[in-house]
Amino acid sequence: MNYNFEINSNGEISQLFLKNNCFDFHSASEFIRNLPYRRNLNKDNLATVFIDEYGTCSTKHALLKILAEENNQPHFKLILGIFKMNGINTPKIKSVFETLREPQSDKLEYIPEAHNYLKFKNQILDFTKKNSSENDFINDLLEETEIQPHQINQFKIEFHKNYLKKWLSEHPEIHYSLDELWNIRELCIAHLS
């Protein structure tokens, strides 16, 4: 499915891509894919991805969604998915699960993790890292919802924490509190940077 388009908007994000020699969506998405994975300090101003020269699944895909909007491409959707993050689909965090030696960790096989990506029509597009693809999480996907670029910060955190609260209540065999689980999750994210 061809989701490429030329960048011809005067919008701020389009102009930043053009200044970086990205003249169509394909080159823009490759530019984003090749940026290192790291948290941006200011998620509310997505132009900082160009200054920082790095980003996360949230900032990278919100930026590409705005690029599509500026260029009148309505078929791109920004998706917030929750998937089962574990040491198999996310090898860099395997050591985190291995170092959890408390009795309750024996039952912690995965953590529901929030992940942002794009959908073009029904095709998943993941530009988080150089080798990212839907195969990294599609078989472990628990839930999806469409969001807007401005929702990648507070809304995403609240949505994720509410999901974890519900998940913990449905899995009484997991003896972690929400805060403990969130701290384990933060440790996992640190291992991805």
What are the structural domain ranges in the chain?
1-193
pLDDT of 18 reads 98
pLDDT band with cut points at 50, 70 and 90 for residue 7? very high
**pLDDT tens-digit readout, 28-43:** 999 999 999 999 988 8
**pLDDT tens-digit readout, 53-87:** 999 999 999 999 999 999 999 999 999 999 999 98
Pair of tokens at residue 11: 């919008």
Alpha-carbon torsion (27, 33, 34, 40), positive or negative: positive
Exposure string over 88-105, b if 16+ CB within 10 A, otherwise e: ebbeebeebbeeeeeeeb
pLDDT band with cut points at 50, 70 and 90 for residue 141? very high
* Mean pLDDT, rounded, for 82-107: 81
pLDDT of 101 reads 59
| Phi and psi angles of residue 111, each rounded to the nearest 5 degrees, phi first | -120, 130
Report whether 115 contacts 83 (CB < 8 A). Answer: yes
Report if pTM > 0.85: yes
Residue 14 parent element (H or E): helix 12-19
Neighbours of 177 (CB within 10 A): 10
